[in-house]
Copies of this chain bind each other. A is one copy, B any other.
Amino acid sequence: MPFSILPGAFPRSRWFKLLGVNAETIAVGTELLTPFRQDTNSLFLTSKLNELGISVDFKTVVGDRRADLVNALQVALARADIVIFMGGLGPTEDDLTREAVAEAMHVELTRSPELVTRLEEMFAARKMKMAENNLRQADVIAGAEVLLNSRGSAPGQFLYVVMEGKSKAIVLLPGPPHELFAMFEGQCIERLRKIAPQRHIAVRVLKIAMVPESHADKRAAAIYTHHADVETTILAGTPGEVQLHLRAQAESLEEARNRVDTLTSLLEDEFEDTVFSAQGESLEQIVGYYLQMRGATLAVAESCTGGLLAERLTSVPGSSRYFLGGAVVYHNALKTMLAGVPPLMIQEHGAVSREVAAALAEGIRDRCKSTIGVGITGIAGPGGGSEEKPVGLVFHAVADDSSTEVVERQYPGDRDRIRNWAAQQALDMIRRKLM
């Protein structure tokens, strides 16, 4: 393949000849070819590249074999404008990205005295002896710009090349996510912005609670298919949550925003109060906002969700301002002991019943002296179901000083999905109570 490496960035006009700029990511590491590990860095890079108006058209994963790396680069250069390697820049013999890129481009690797000094200083500062093989990290591909690593020892590299008259870029980034993120944001975005098409992008994420995915899909599609100027992706989140990701590109930011906002309004009209967030917040965050806004507090008594609802609520930093705590009442005796459910009620109606759910919500509210109390009881399975009360049956109750609302649901799926459905439904009931 006829390559030529440019000494620095080439004139912008050259890039403008391209109709749309596309990228290929290459994740490097034999461990990424096992059943246990996955390339996730490319998700971050895709999001950042898309913001620059660059599409990712291919993603490749390749092991720590030099010949395979050379092959992957040759293949990528033939079909993408920007090729980004992730990984293989460390000091070990398995780290071969530098060598492979130099080989594929038919150029030399040269040890940089500045990088050697930097590595020596880094090791000295940590009072560690530097093993000889660390010096490999100071090897620079002829013509490449060095990307310093603020969070690790392996520098990245950035090459501008021309191939068959087309301007291309090859970027070498380290594999550890925190190193890659910092290096890409700090040193690659500006370089890529210069060579990316000038586009502005507006984004919105609408989240919808407790609307079945297939319904949401159909109702949303009826609207967004008439708005081809906004890219719409429907994703299923945790059970009971559907996300609509909207994204528009335009020559001005105002135009991009207009497009996204127009579609957002139409979707909000369609989905009404099932839309709980238009800025990406989680349902537990939204519930937290509402509780703080109302100066209200919350306590929960969970049976079948076994702590999942409390765990989600407390995953939000600062949740101690409105979440007091509660009880996990797996055993029936604890329903009485910790939440004051009368034993006779359990005997009469069963632990999984409308009555016990209400008593849990009222009891935990009373004992914890919270504004709102929540009770959940159900059958998560796989055992414990009966014809009358099958696996997946859950009662959810939300109590405040004026009333107690109980909702009965029959959820599909396995133990994990049923528990997640139930926690989501309870959060949505709290949200509606506070709305």
The chain A residues found within 8 Å of chain B, CB to CB, are: 31-38, 40, 43-44, 46-47, 50, 55-63, 65, 68, 71-72, 75, 79, 233, 235, 245, 299-300, 302-303, 305-311, 313-315, 317-320, 323-331, 333-334, 337-338, 367-369, 381-384, 415-416, 419
Contacts and interface: CB of A to CB of B under 8 A. Distances in A.
Contact of A309 (B61, B307, B329, B383): B307
A428 to B, nearest CB: 18
A300 B334 CA distance: 12
A223 to B, nearest CB: 18
Given A62-B58, A68-B58, A338-B327, A34 B233 contact: yes
Contacts of A320: 330-331, 384
Contacts of A319: 306, 330
How many copies of this protein are present in the complex?
2
Contacts of A35: 43-44, 46-47, 50
Contacts of A36: 43, 233, 235, 245
Given A34-B233, A35-B50, A307-B308, 13 more contacts: A34-B46, A34-B50, A35-B47, A36-B233, A38-B43, A57-B62, A299-B334, A305-B314, A318-B383, A323-B331, A324-B330, A327-B328, A338-B367
A322 to B, nearest CB: 10
A63 B57 contact: yes
5 contacts: A307-B309, A307-B310, A317-B415, A325-B331, A333-B368
The 8 lowest CB-CB distance pairs between A and B, nearest first, are A306-B314, A307-B310, A307-B307, A35-B47, A59-B61, A307-B311, A325-B330, A324-B331
A251 to B, nearest CB: 22
A217 to B, nearest CB: 13
Contacts of A325: 303, 327-331, 334, 338
Q: Please report whether the interface of chain A is mostly helix, strand, loop or mixed according to DSSP.
A: mixed
Contact of A307 (B59, B61, B245, B328): B328
A224 to B, nearest CB: 14
B324 A310 contact: no
A416 B315 CA distance: 7
A178 to B, nearest CB: 11
Nearest to A316: B415
